[in-house]
Amino acid sequence: MKKLLAAIALSIVVATPAVAENEDRVLRSLPTDVQKDIEETRASCRSIDEIKDKVTSGDEGLTQFTLRGRQAVLIDPVILCGECYHGYSCDNRGERSVRVYALFGSAWRMVLANKTITGDIFVSYVPGKYGPEGQELNALVVDLFFGNKECPTRSAPTMSAQWYEKRSCVVRWNGIKFTYRPL
């Protein structure tokens, strides 16, 4: 019986590091500068008593999906920190820099970068489309503080008024790039 318990204890100790490695598999596969940016954002948010318990670690907080079968990840400082905290994970209007990286062969490439997203991001998946790397993305629904040419906003005289002019947009992957369409 002692040998059995010792074998079980040893297998738990040996298996534990492998489990820990899998918890940050995607994070550790991202480019070094992206990993550094994620960890700096998290460290900054951990310095705030009000949100330090909400800050994610490892792959937690990285929204994973596929783009036409290609592994992808959305990086949003608000999700990494657990909430929008002005000056740390977003600015005073709730804007932050959201990025999507897709895996091309063995290299990650940034396929979306937007600094004018404000509010929550709704991630819509294609029903029934599951691959080895996650669910297939149908669309992102975002609010843009300042729009782009595909999803324009009206200009307002003040920043406070501009917030009311923000525009909800549907963001979809067309196989080559993300496109925007007003909602």
The verdict on pTM exceeding 0.85 is no
Which of residues 183 and 131 earns the better pLDDT score? 183
**Inter-residue contact 89 to 96 (CB < 8 Å):** yes
Alpha-carbon Rg of the chain, whole angstroms? 20
| Burial tier of 145 (Cβ tally within 10 Å: 0-12, 13-18, 19+) | buried
- At residue 163, the pLDDT reads 76
Mean pLDDT, the chain, rounded, equals 86
Which tens digit of pLDDT belongs to each residue from 107-154?
999 999 999 999 999 999 999 877 666 799 999 999 998 888 888 888
Q: Which residue's structure tokens are 């738990």? A: 12
